[in-house]
Amino acid sequence: MSKNILVVGASGYIGSHLVPNLLELGHHVRATGRNLKLLEKRGWGSIDNLKLVELDLDIDQDLTELFTDIDTVYFLVHGMNHGHDFIEFELDCARRFSHYLGLSNVGHVVYLGALQPHINTSQSKHLTARKETGNILRESGKCITELRAGIIIGPGSAAFEVMQDFVYHLPIMLTPSWVTSRNSPIGLRNLLYYLTELIDCPQEHNLILDVAGPEQMTYKDQMVRLSKMHGKNIRVIPLKWLSPKMAAYWLRFITSVPTNIARALIGGLSCDLPADGSELQRRIPQHLLSYEEAIQETLAMNTELVKSEIWGFDPDALLRWQTGYGYYPKQAGYTLKTDASCEDLWRQVQLIGGEEGYFYANSLWRVREWMDAMIGGNALQRHRRDPHKLQLGDQIDSWKVISLEKNHFLSLLFGMKAPGLGRLEFTIEDCGDHRTVDIRAWWHPKGFMGLLYWFAMMPAHLFIFRGMTHALVKRCKAKIQEGNIDTK
């Protein structure tokens, strides 16, 4: 039977997989996210039984209409990417949501939380916030089903991708002693099945249920078994003096998972997180994938990343994507404010490449092209279909136009030889009294050499991108207001 479903946090990892599943089951879905454009980029902009709603729970606003005619709510919001104060942000969002939830006619709420240690000695802000969020939602007086999950094995799962990056990038791992802590990893498909089946299991009282895979495993065992799946043989050496806090500092160099998320997760790794999934399995029986089966499914889904609006569904990007590329990209960019019009800025952006060059430090661009030629690349060849305008699919020297939106956005696929896959993006935003122009590189590194390449190039990127944004504005004969560097 079709129901009206509200998914709060649809742009997150689980939400982005849950929404398509709900739609396939015939439900009518209202999906929320802080950035509506991000939801639209998933190809969700024109689906009949899907309505997209921009929602920022950090803003005090009336949410009454959000719950109109809704039968079931999925609350998937977390604040790990918000920064060091994410726990306050996360709980404030939960309180604001819970207040309006209590005023609604919603019958059932499904909240995805996190496994908790049996002995409450964890110093993890992440686990604390997950537990307290569930308590806050229950204060609404509605029937809350809280599923507590550990590591989810699937493409894009932050905890899993951290382990993948460790395996890809390091033959020997010197780790904190927490690698001997135990968890119960579960396959993404199994978790999604539990979530969707809960719609047809209405509850009369609050429930807290563990989500568990078929095995309790240490993090060390998971990484060793993961490495074997990739044909590698790694050594994991736990060091007592290497604390999770210390580990968080160098995570940004080893993993491509966003730093704030990786840092938040690290605290939760320091304690055992046992799980008893028998009650949930009794209510919703299914075949639970083994650890190896879940990894095999994940690897088979890896190419889904480039089959998206982000890469323009470009066949060249799909052809070049390889197992071992970091799922989450590294990025570096420079953003500038100006009084130049969007039209003038766009006119200049379209001149990139060919004889025109790259607006700033063309000698450095030429050096990089010569380096590519020395290892068999074709970056020295000049390509421009039209000297003044671009269109989708155009070849610009060693770059390819994979996404283009007039007066707003240009994305170029990196074509030189390097250990990874990347894009160069130009974004122009009209902010009313000013415009912003952002030039940014995105890089999915392949192994240790891919990371080394990224960090070796980053100083040049930041120097060049700052110069390019300034040059674009000067060519428009406009004023430069202010700018800032951004790296992740």
- From 300, 325, 340, the end of a domain falls on 300
- Average pLDDT for the chain: 86
343 and 283, same structural domain? no
From CA 32, how far away is CA 34, in angstroms rounded? 7
From CA 354, how far away is CA 377, in angstroms rounded? 17
140 and 20, same structural domain? yes
| Tokens at 24, concatenated | 């396939």
Please state the pTM of the whole predicted model.
0.84
405 and 274, same structural domain? no
What's the CATH code of the domain at 112?
3.40.50.720
Close Cβ partners of 247 (under 8 Å, ≥ 6 residues apart): 175, 176, 266
In the prediction, which pLDDT does 302 show? 75
- From 270, 300, 330, the end of a domain falls on 300
In the prediction, which pLDDT does 347 show? 95
Residue 68 has pLDDT above 90, yes or no: yes
169 and 140, same structural domain? yes
Q: How many CB atoms lie within 10 A of CB 435?
A: 23
- Pick 283 or 227 by higher pLDDT: 283
Residue 224 has pLDDT above 90, yes or no: no
Residue 466 CA: distances (Å) to CA of 367, 476, 488:
19, 16, 16
Residue 268 has pLDDT above 70, yes or no: no
At 15 the three-state DSSP class reads helix
In the prediction, which pLDDT does 263 show? 67
222 and 348, same structural domain? no
357 and 294, same structural domain? no
What's the CATH code of the domain at 364?
3.30.530.20
| Tokens at 230, concatenated | 């990739």
353 and 280, same structural domain? no
Reduce the secondary structure of 272-320 to three states and give it as a string.
Answer: CCCCCCHHHHHHCCCCCCCHHHHHHHHHHCHHHHCCCHHHCCCHHHHHH
296 and 314, same structural domain? no
**pLDDT band at residue 81 under the 50/70/90 scheme:** low
234 and 126, same structural domain? yes
Q: What mean pLDDT comes out for the span 20-28? A: 94
Q: What is the domain range of residue 102?
A: 4-300
- From 241, 272, 300, the end of a domain falls on 300
314 and 295, same structural domain? no
Give the highest mean pLDDT range of 350-364, 381-395, 430-444: 430-444
Split into its structural domains, the chain has a count of: 2
435 and 333, same structural domain? yes
| Tokens at 401, concatenated | 């136009």
410 and 262, same structural domain? no
Amino acid at 428: I
| Tokens at 256, concatenated | 């491509």
Close Cβ partners of 138 (under 8 Å, ≥ 6 residues apart): 144, 206
Tens of pLDDT, residue by residue over 317-371, are: 888 888 778 888 888 999 999 999 999 999 999 999 887 889 999 888 888 888 8
